[in-house]
């Protein structure tokens, strides 16, 4: 876990800059983006592996920052759906571009065989975790 934390901390540090989303915000916005009808709080909580309360707070902050548009769910009056605003779309585009560049920088020291081997191990671990659910 320490290696994963070090890796993502390195990526996060290199991504910092004017108008660039944090990895946590980018992850939430990607979950929202993947929901064509708009993401509910439960969708975000499940998608990022957090509580409903924490997902609700981050969605509120993203909406306050103008990155999301929120509207009542037409199928469930108790629920709200979030979609990317134009500003949110632009922010995701900028962050995705920088994220790809930063990943290339961070992984540049590893050869493709080492990366492929590491990904294979992670895939096996993920499959084992999912089988245990």
* pLDDT tens for each residue of 63-109: 999 999 999 988 888 899 999 999 999 999 998 888 888 888 888 87
Separation between Cα atoms, residue 133 and residue 126, nearest integer Å: 11
**Side-chain half-sphere of 74: how many Cα atoms within 13 Å?**
2
82 vs 133, higher pLDDT: 82
The pTM of this model reads 0.77
Indicate if the pLDDT at residue 19 is higher than 70: no
pLDDT of 20 > 80? The answer is no
Residue 23 reports pLDDT greater than 80: yes
Quote the CA–CA distance of 72 and 83 in Å, as a whole number. Answer: 11
pLDDT of residue 110: 82
Evaluate whether 23 touches 15 at the Cβ level (below 8 Å): yes
Is 76 strand, coil or helix? strand
């Amino acid at each position: 876990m320490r290696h994963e934390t070090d890796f993502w901390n390195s990526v996060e540090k290199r991504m910092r800059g004017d108008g660039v989303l944090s990895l946590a915000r980018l992850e939430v916005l990607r979950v929202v983006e993947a929901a064509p009808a708009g993401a509910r709080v439960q969708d975000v909580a499940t998608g990022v592996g957090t509580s409903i309360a924490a997902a609700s707070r981050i969605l509120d902050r993203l909406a306050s920052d103008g990155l999301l548009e929120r509207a009542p769910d037409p199928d469930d009056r108790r629920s709200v759906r979030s979609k990317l605003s134009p500003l949110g779309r632009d922010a995701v585009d900028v962050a995705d571009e920088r994220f790809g560049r930063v990943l290339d920088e961070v992984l540049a020291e590893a050869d493709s065989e080492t990366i492929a081997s590491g990904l294979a191990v992670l895939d096996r671990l993920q499959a084992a975790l999912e089988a245990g659910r």
